[in-house]
Every structure is written in C-alpha cells, then in structure tokens.
Copies of this chain bind each other. A is one copy, B any other.
C-alpha cells in the first residue's frame, strides 16, 4: 500500500481510527477527496466535471476513458496530470494512486457492477450513477464487494440531497400533513429516434425508460412514503415500436405500501413529464419539476412554496458524499437504496410480462 492516507480514510470510515469514533479527522495534507470519473459521456462532461469545480470537499483528480482524444481534452481543460488518467485496461492500477479516493462510475447501466467491483477491489470508495445495475443480484454483489473491501458505496440519486425534496421527505416523516395516502410520480422526456442506437435503447446494456427515468418516480415514491412497497402492478406501452424494439418507451406502475398508501408512477422516453404529487390525510404537496438538474420547486395545499435554490445539485451531492466518507459515516444514499429500487424494477418487469398482474415484492 503506497500511502497511509487512503488507509486512514478507510479506518475513519470504519470508525476504527485511533483518532476517534468516526470523527471527521483528516490528515492535514488532504482536506478534499480526489475523485476519478469513469466514463466521460454527457453527464460527466456537462454536469459532474463542472460541479467538481464548485465542490469544497472533493475535486476532479482523475479520469478513466477509452478515448485518448477525450483524455487529452480533459487533461488540458481540467489540468489533470497524466498519472491520473486511466483507461479500461489499466483501470485496476488506480489502487496504487493516492490522488484518487473515490471512483465515480458514470458508465452505461450494464457496466456499473464491473467497475464498482474493480474500484472497490482497488480500495477506492465508489459513487455509482443510477440506476444501480440491471439486476438485484448485481446490486447485492456490488454492496458485498464494497463491504468486503471496506469502501463506501453511494448511488447518484442526487434528488435526495436537494433541499426542497428533503422538505417533502420531512413532511412524510413528520406527518406534517398527516399520513401519506397516495402519490403520483411521473418522470419522462422525449428521446429522439436515435436512442435505438444508444445504450438507453438497448436491453443488453440496461436501457429503457424504467431504468433511465422510472427509478426517479420509484425512488420518489419510496422516499415520500418512507416505506418499502410490498406489491406492484405494471404495464408498458409504446407509440414508436420501430424505435423501442428492445426496451420500454413508457411504463406505468402502481405500488402498494404496507401502511396502506398507494402510488401511481409513470416513466417514459416519449413523454415530457416531471411531477411528484403527494396526497396526505390533511392536505397535499407537490414538486414540479421534481427531478430536473435545477429549478426544483413546489407548493402545498396550505399555500407554502417549496423553492429553496441550490447552486449545483451534483456539487451538493458529491460534497455530502465526500463529507460522509471523511466523517466515517454512512452516505445519505447508500448502495442499499439502489438495490431496493432495482428489486422493485424486477417486479415491475415481471408484472409487465404478465399483463399487469399484481406481483408481491
């Protein structure tokens, strides 16, 4: 092991450091975690890299890409030293690089498991974009490998870090409007026909509306109600069968929760929709949009406005996750949170295949 810094962070994460019971003590030589982005597509380029210029507890330390031209561009733009640039072959050499504390997996869905496992085995904390993985078994393996290697695992559900969303979650937890009885959550956008050529259009790569956008609706139903669904009924639809040959264009699903609440959720790659509406015993509240990169806002039945501004959602998420790691605490959105969603996703697919039959989860 080339450095004690990473080891120290691990020790802090486990609460085993000699310095205290998980207190946020760090070596003075490092007050921010180094993050390596794995996969330099749109989300890394336009959202995460700019956000990492704003973060206070972490910074863009490295990149992993199979494209040497992209590597050159990023190295210049973000002053990334060549020693912190990896490709998918030498990825595992990250283990020897003390600059990299966290690997952020921003690859297509079907690669999340492999790169989470490799990162964990390299001793790096892992942030993994949503959806966590194509199957619940994948998720379980990812959680296990991170646990075995004593690294933290966060899922990139940034909405749970967003303050208006957190207010909505508090309404549910504190029963501000009474018990939640019903919610609708709709998340979708219109993808062009070219999606059939992209990973989001391919089943083998874990694409489709439910994986890409449906997890927003699903995650929202779970965080707004604060329980785990016990059954689901679902249907899928398409208006572009030639484009959506392999994956779902539009999926609607109804969730049952043990406390009696029900949720009607929808997702689509052919419909722009972005609403979370919660009905509780004594009133309602909603966010609209509830899952955009900015401008999350909402209102309540008693006239309250939910409109706290966030400078940068991704920066907030990555700073929170970095602070948790440095404090030796569990992240706000651990791997288990992604796994719970994917278990439901599997039940949704099963219900769709059985023409909407109710599937217990």
Residues of A within 8 A of B (CB): 181-182, 184, 186, 188, 190, 233, 235, 237, 239, 250, 252, 254, 256, 260, 262, 264, 266, 268, 270-273, 275, 277, 279, 281, 284, 351, 354-358
Contacts and interface: CB of A to CB of B under 8 A. Distances in A.
Contacts of A354: 357
Given A252-B262, A264-B266, A186 B186 contact: no
Contacts of A281: 190
A268 B272 CA distance: 27
A272 B280 CA distance: 8
Contacts of A273: 182, 279, 284
Contacts of A270: 181
A27 B281 CA distance: 54
Contacts of A275: 184, 277
Q: Identify whether the interface residues of A are mostly helix, strand, loop, or mixed.
A: strand
A184 B235 CA distance: 15
Contacts of A271: 181-182, 279
Nearest to A233: B356
11 contacts: A182-B250, A184-B186, A184-B277, A190-B281, A237-B256, A252-B262, A252-B264, A262-B266, A277-B277, A351-B356, A356-B358
Count of this chain's copies in the oligomeric assembly: 2
Contacts of A355: 233, 357-358
Nearest to A190: B281
Contact of A235 (B186, B260, B358): B358
A74 B357 CA distance: 51
B182 A266 contact: yes
A264 B233 CA distance: 12
A354 B351 CA distance: 13
A190 B357 CA distance: 28
A21 B244 CA distance: 53
Contact of A182 (B186, B233, B235): B186
Nearest to A260: B239
Contacts of A252: 254, 262, 264
Contacts of A256: 235, 237
Contacts of A239: 260
